[in-house]
Amino acid sequence: DAGITQSPRHKVTETGTPVTLRCHQTENHRYMYWYRQDPGHGLRLIHYSYGVKDTDKGEVSDGYSVSRSKTEDFLLTLESATSSQTSVYFCAISPWGLEYEQYFGPGTRLTVT
Amino acid sequence: QKEVEQNSGPLSVPEGAIASLNCTYSDRGSQSFFWYRQYSGKSPELIMFIYSNGDKEDGRFTAQLNKASQYVSLLIRDSQPSDSATYLCAVPNFGNEKLTFGTGTRLTIIP
């Protein structure tokens, strides 16, 4: 998985609780991305980062926040989890940016009950 | 029109035959195109990328790009059961600063 790990790999949480997912890379790539994947919707971008402390919103960012204090770590936080956020979350990294290839982590399966 | 469209399948191909997967896109400014393979329960894996019109070959895989017609295709020669997976097409959308993925085509290779 191109030197990318995600934690936790599986999580079950209750509606209204905060949840933080972690993406860690050992490739020293500048760009990092968070996606969610749902049946019928494919992969959708939540947030992305183009450097330490540089982040921006994707197409489905409502209810999510991110932080990147180190090159290797990109955190995704669900401030107050809802059932609609039940999904599989993938982190991806890219060495050069949007028009270049992205490499995906193993994913986190999140269930909000 | 969706930004990236793929036939969802399932597409069934006999072992040893050629599997042909197609993808159309709406952004005429797109310059690079990616094919990912995703096994059930796993993460997407990059298998091909193409930047120029024409064909690009890598082993049993060939990507074909036609910018005038706005489609990109993936051919898999000598299909193997291990090729059974969902194949995702991805195209950069510079207006929205994102990589747009199609919903994928599920391919099944029949032994």
**Which of A59, A101, A104 lies at the smallest CB-CB distance from B43?**
A104
Instruction: Please tell me the distance from the alpha carbon of residue B100 to that of residue B111, in angstroms, as a whole number.
Output: 33
For residue range B81-105, what is the model confidence (pLDDT) as tens digits? 999 999 999 998 776 667 889 999 9
Contact present, B109 and B10 (Cβ < 8 Å): no
Average pLDDT over residues A45-71: 95
Contact present, B32 and B98 (Cβ < 8 Å): no
Which pLDDT score, from 0 to 100, does residue B7 have? 84
The answer to whether the Cβ–Cβ distance between A101 and B49 falls below 8 Å is yes
Average pLDDT over residues A18-43: 94
User: Is A12's Cβ below 8 Å from some Cβ in B?
Assistant: no
Average pLDDT, chain B: 91
Which pLDDT score, from 0 to 100, does residue A1 have? 53
**Which of B42, B49, B99 lies at the smallest CB-CB distance from A98?**
B99
- CB-CB neighbors (< 8 A) of A101 in chain B: 34, 46, 49
- CB-CB neighbors (< 8 A) of B94 in chain A: 98-99
Of A42, A47, A76, nearest in space to A59 by CA: A47
B69: CB partners within 8 A, 6+ apart: none
A62: CB partners within 8 A, 6+ apart: none
A-B CB pairs within 8 A amount to 50
Which pLDDT score, from 0 to 100, does residue A97 have? 77
For residue range A59-89, what is the model confidence (pLDDT) as tens digits? 899 999 999 999 999 999 999 999 999 999 9
For residue range B30-56, what is the model confidence (pLDDT) as tens digits? 888 999 999 999 999 999 999 888 899
For residue range B57-88, what is the model confidence (pLDDT) as tens digits? 999 999 999 988 999 999 999 999 999 999 99
Percentage helix, strand, coil, to 5, in chain A? 5, 60, 40
User: Is A59's Cβ below 8 Å from some Cβ in B?
Assistant: yes
Count of H helices and E strands in chain A? 0, 11
**Which of B94, B97, B103 lies at the smallest CB-CB distance from A40?**
B103
- Per-residue pLDDT band at B1 (split at 50, 70, 90): low
- Per-residue pLDDT band at A2 (split at 50, 70, 90): low
Which pLDDT score, from 0 to 100, does residue B97 have? 66
Q: Is B10 exposed, middle or buried (0-12, 13-18, 19+ CB in 10 A)?
A: exposed
B41: CB partners within 8 A, 6+ apart: none
The answer to whether the Cβ–Cβ distance between A42 and B88 falls below 8 Å is yes
**Which of B44, B45, B92 lies at the smallest CB-CB distance from A99?**
B92
Contact present, B7 and B103 (Cβ < 8 Å): no
